[in-house]
């Protein structure tokens, strides 16, 4: 009887999510090197090859693509990021949002890390 009760209790607790909560990633998960590859003057086709298909396209604004992603960690904290690329005459003219080419992702309350240098190199210079 105790074994059956312990089995039932373990099953009930595991179903409630008390033991494990999975992280959830949705949308366009962009890497820094993908955003760094964007250059003004690129065509829509070239941007599509670098970033993939946008999550959102507006039928009213054909020259604007929105790449949206969200990440929910096991504690329930949600981190949302957005990248908007704007075209004129099918050519990339502007990038807006939480990503900046060459600077990495803007995280809440932090600045991008500077490159680490070797202490021996500093001693020589």
CA 40 to chain centre: 21
Select the more confidently predicted residue: 19 or 94.
94
> The domain spanning residue 41 has which CATH number?
3.30.1450
Residue span of the structural domain in which 88 resides:
21-103
Instruction: Indicate the number of domains in the chain.
Output: 1
Tokens, residue 111: 């600045």
Distance CA 46, CA 103 (A): 21
Q: What is the pLDDT of residues 12-63, one digit of tens each?
A: 766 655 667 788 888 888 888 888 899 999 999 999 999 998 887 788 888 9
**From residue 72, how far is each of 15, 24, 75, 121 by CA, in Å?**
19, 5, 8, 40
Would you tell me how many other CB atoms lie within 10 Å of the CB of residue 54? 19
**Residue 108: its pLDDT value, please?**
42
Within-domain flag for 6: no
């Amino acid at each position: 009887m105790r074994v059956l009760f312990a089995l039932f209790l373990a099953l009930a607790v595991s179903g409630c999510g008390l033991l494990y909560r999975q992280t959830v990633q949705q949308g366009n998960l962009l890497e820094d090197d993908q955003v760094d590859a964007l250059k003004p003057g690129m065509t829509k086709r070239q941007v599509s090859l670098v970033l993939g298909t946008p999550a959102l396209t507006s039928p009213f604004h054909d020259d604007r693509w929105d790449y949206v992603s969200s990440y929910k960690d096991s504690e329930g904290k949600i981190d949302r990021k957005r990248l908007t690329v704007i075209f004129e005459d099918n050519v990339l003219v502007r990038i807006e949002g939480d990503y900046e080419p060459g600077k990495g992702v803007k995280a809440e309350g932090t600045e991008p890390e500077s490159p680490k240098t070797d202490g021996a190199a500093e001693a020589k210079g």
